Amino acid sequence: MRTSERREGRGMHLVRWALVAGVAAAATAAGQTRILETTVQLRDFGFSSVRDVRAAEVTMTGMGEGASMNLTALSGHAERTAAAGRSAAPPVRTGEPRVRLHRATWVWNTDRLLKDGPLRSAFLRFLREEEFDVVYLQIPRGDDDTAHGVHVLPAADLLPLIRTMRSLGVSVEALAGDPRFILPAGRRTLLSLIGSVAAYDRGVPADARFSAVHLDVEPYLLPGFGGPRRTRLLTAYLDLLRDVRTAAQAAGLALGVDVPSWFDEGDELSGEPFEADEHGTRRPVLDLLLPLVDEVCVMSYQTTAAGPGGVLASSAGELRAAGKSGKQVSVALETTPLPDQTVAIVRGAPARGYPLRNTGADQLLLFPRRDSVSVWYVPSSAADSALGLLRKRKIADSSCAVWTVPRRAEVPASGITFAGSSADELQKVETEVRRAFAGEPGFAGTAVHDWMNYFNLRHEVRAGGKETEKR
């Protein structure tokens, strides 16, 4: 998935890290007076009325000028059900790994690499320097053959790039990422892309072919995943994987997927497990996913190895499950620049009416607007302003559902991504992970998302394109 899409959907991933790590803040920030507002379709979350909502989660980026807010989850349950706890990290092993461990990276700018010779040279040099031996290469745009309804890859440009990588000992996997792939139109698009990869492989020598299809679909970025529609979306995701597996196998390609580090846990808001439907029975999504793929890459985006909020604990469940299934697992770290965020969660039946004045606490407000619902985050110091705006817009107090926000969790990006840190710090954590998981059944190695941001972390890119090593 492209960086912009990742940023828009970060709420769920960030709040999970915050709640595991226990980073909390008071409900009201000093000097905060701005009301944050967003609009959602309740039906996307599986609700027909705000009266049915008993818990909500909002994620905010910034709290001052230019701030934004997303409604990331709704639940009809006021209390969390018993959720699966985070798996304990496996013991550190001192033995040698059973197989050579891989190091992978994502490439989301394939089209630019094909056209920009200096950047391509820098990329290939970087692969050698950093000892990457697996590249998830985004399927390039190419051309659409409208007469035959197929996507055609630019073989003349792509062949020499893949052949050069293969000569360096790098396995190249065809990367595609978009949560909309689980929707009917998106599924057709993805299968067409895989068909273009198969056609490309058939037309080039063995030393210039892709070795696998790699998907970064992330269905939890779709509207409504943080609500009752989640099981339906996860079921559609698995149906997509079945179709992709069939297409990949027909082309002689392996299948790998990126998964979050919390698929083996329960939802933070409701406590409900992440499940999909199989023949009318709900089962854990990870149990259904593993038989469909050859390799899993766990997006364990933390910046420490040990501890309850660290990489080892967050990826241990997926590693054990995959090991039992005979599947390979890579553990990924993040270098994409991300904003600090703030998460607020409310529970219980909402009060009816306008926000209360002089409560000393922030408030979350939902009210219907035509065919959608407005969501307001009202700081304690902005209650009077909210009342004035509601009356000015002629919003009836009887239509408003309001909760007092008991607390906020501050989620610093420094706990998620190494952007702003250093490549040496990333490699330190990466080494700890490789040592701890060495010898674990199924552990294939580590991955760094993504090559361009990691390159920028490793180098200082000066104006005019000149580079100097940071270390």
Which of 385, 411, 437 lies at the terminal end of a domain, its last residue? 411
Q: Report the interhelical angle of 117-130 vs 451-458 (nearest 10°).
A: 80
Cis bond leading into 384, ω under 30°?
A: no
Bridge partners (DSSP) listed for residue 461: 467
CB 290 within 8 A of CB 310: no
Do 228 and 171 share a structural domain? yes
- Rounded Cα distance, 336 and 418, in Å: 8
Q: How many CB atoms lie within 10 A of CB 1?
A: 23
265 with 386, same domain: the answer is no
List the CATH number of the domain containing 226.
3.20.20.80
Are 181 and 289 members of one domain?
Answer: yes
Do 163 and 241 sit in the same domain of this protein?
A: yes
pLDDT value of residue 80: 58
Q: Assess if residue 94 is contained within a domain.
A: no
Give the pLDDT of residue 95. 46
The Cα 332–Cα 448 span in angstroms is: 6
Same domain membership, residue 364 and residue 247 = no
**Do 219 and 258 touch, CB atoms closer than 8 A?**
no
111/232 same-domain check: yes
In a domain, 302, yes or no: yes
User: Is residue 211 domain-resident?
Assistant: yes
The reply to whether 382 and 264 lie within a common domain is no
13: helix, strand or coil: helix
Confidence at residue 331, expressed as pLDDT on a 0 to 100 scale = 98
What is the domain extent for residue 384? 27-83+342-411
Residue 323 and residue 209 share a domain: yes
User: In the chain, which residues have pLDDT < 70?
Assistant: 1-33, 63-65, 78-99, 143-150, 460-471
Do 148 and 275 sit in the same domain of this protein?
yes
134 within domain boundaries = yes
Rounded Cα gap, residues 430 and 436, in angstroms: 10
Q: Are residues 377 and 444 in the same domain?
A: no
What is the structure's pLDDT at 33? 65
Q: What are phi and psi of 134, to 5 degrees?
A: -135, 130
pTM of the model: 0.88
The count of domains in the chain is 2
